[in-house]
Chains A and B, each alone.
Chain A
């Protein structure tokens, strides 16, 4: 273990001990402390992932939680391109219904499909409302 790491660990241990005391936990409840911290941290991360900022408010006093890591998560949330789409159980059930339905395209979808296959298809002629920008 490097000297820096040893020092960091000591500082971290001290910090955790102080936190344990403030939360009214006993010395043998370190695992409980870590579990609570993990719960709180995952809530914070979830909010940041959803693009939300976290603020402490009391009257007019507002203090924002600032962290470069959370900023990065929020940025990723704002960019909004997801490679992974997670469905809830309800959404999965609805998806099962959709896939079970068979092929019954709406009239608009039929039109879209026939237009896609149309070689002379052209974009609509446009008129910008409100004149030149």
Chain B
């Protein structure tokens, strides 16, 4: 998880979208510490012998509401508004490290943390929401089953968390493992700790979690 010690790493981050670099440099530290708005998680590469920020994602809570009060016929299918959601506010990979699967890994971490929170946290969430910055990003999220709600960009995209966290999910290896408490849940948590920075987790040679870096 991002904290002040990582400040020097932020300067070198490059991405084709200036807003993703700008967010990291200007707001990513401020939001969890001062505004309590969002938390940012880092992937730090150490393969070259020095630490480099390879990618990050930011999670926040959000409330999905309707902008108009007019009745809509199929509203019965929807839960009551406002709908609680976890917002994947940012996900970016350094442009020099793109195309190597890090984006997918960061997405897995973001969804994993969300499911853990939705499943065992003190509050419930129905939706996983993100705003795809362009068509490439939208296609990336399409693959993981996020549905597009809008036409233009940034394009709002959602994933229904209910089938992923409810008790009687359809038989699926992954969903079953997430549901069963005990060793498998512990295994999931161990995997998630790798990016959250638990010192006991063994980082992959070449990659380190944010808080296992040397001080």
Contacts and interface: CB of A to CB of B under 8 A. Distances in A.
Interface residues of A, number: 52
B184 A127 contact: no
A57 interface: no
A88 B69 CA distance: 10
Given A87-B66, A115-B108, A99 B77 contact: yes
B135 interface: no
B102 A127 contact: no
Contacts of A128: 45, 48, 52, 54, 94, 96-97
B43 to A, nearest CB: 6
Nearest to A125: B206
Contacts of A92: 66, 72, 75, 78
Given A80-B23, A122-B204, A85 B85 contact: yes
A132 B51 CA distance: 11
Contact of A113 (B85, B174, B192): B174
Interface residues of B, number: 85
Interface string B195-211: 10000000011110000
B151 to A, nearest CB: 9
A21 to B, nearest CB: 37
A129 B45 CA distance: 13
Interface of B: 12, 14, 19, 22-23, 26-27, 31, 37-38, 43, 45, 47-48, 52, 54, 58, 60-68, 70, 72, 74-75, 77-79, 82, 85, 87, 89, 94, 96-97, 100-102, 104-105, 107-108, 111-112, 115, 129, 143-145, 147-150, 156, 158-160, 162-164, 169-170, 172-175, 177-178, 184, 187-188, 190-192, 194-195, 204-207
